């Protein structure tokens, strides 16, 4: 399972012409679920995202988590994060989880993040979305949880 975290001033997601979710300061999280991810891994990754210290303190150091700054999260399902790009000119998507397991893991991740005190908005699973963000810093981090 992979989470691409982007520290944002604001972010929003649209499906067609409809804005379905938006946040102020916090994290935009692109979430990829792999076919080999063991059950429960999404809870551990949500905890790591909630506690990951990438927000600046009064001295400009990354010492605060999204929870500590009382920020929000916008989580976008992103199966392409699990693509195999090791060869050729076209990505292979076999490593990504199928729609059913991936959607359950995505929902579980979002619920766990919210339960940890991070107001969580979501993109729409399976939809073609336009994601808009202001990456503050810029600061972007890839968190991976081992599949075995």
Taking the C-alpha atoms of residue 3 and residue 9, their distance in angstroms, rounded to an integer, is: 18
* DSSP-derived secondary structure letter, 4: E
- Given the residues 6, 55, 78, 120, select the one marked as catalytic: 78
Residue 36 annotated as catalytic: no
Asked if residue 82 lies in contact with residue 97, where contact means CB atoms within 8 angstroms, the answer is yes
- Given the residues 6, 52, 55, 79, select the one marked as catalytic: 79
Taking the C-alpha atoms of residue 80 and residue 11, their distance in angstroms, rounded to an integer, is: 20
Taking the C-alpha atoms of residue 94 and residue 83, their distance in angstroms, rounded to an integer, is: 7
Structure tokens at 98: 């199928």
Taking the C-alpha atoms of residue 45 and residue 62, their distance in angstroms, rounded to an integer, is: 19
**For residue 21, what are the β-bridge partners?**
13
Residue 78 annotated as catalytic: yes
Taking the C-alpha atoms of residue 45 and residue 30, their distance in angstroms, rounded to an integer, is: 12
The residues carrying an active-site annotation are: 78-80
């Amino acid at each position: 399972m992979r989470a691409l975290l982007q520290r944002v001033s604001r972010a929003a997601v649209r499906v067609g012409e409809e804005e379905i979710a938006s946040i102020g300061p916090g994290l935009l999280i692109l979430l990829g679920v792999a076919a080999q991810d063991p059950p429960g891994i999404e809870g551990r990754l949500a905890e790591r995202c909630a506690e990951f210290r990438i927000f600046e303190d009064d001295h400009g150091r990354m010492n605060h988590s999204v929870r500590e700054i009382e920020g929000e999260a916008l989580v976008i399902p992103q199966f392409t994060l699990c693509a195999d790009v090791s060869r050729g000119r076209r990505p292979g998507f076999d490593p990504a989880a199928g729609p059913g397991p991936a959607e359950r893991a995505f929902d579980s991740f979002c619920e766990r993040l919210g339960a940890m005190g991070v107001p969580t908005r979501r993109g729409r699973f399976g939809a073609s979305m336009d994601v808009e963000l202001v990456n503050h810093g810029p600061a972007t981090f890839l968190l991976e949880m081992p599949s075995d």
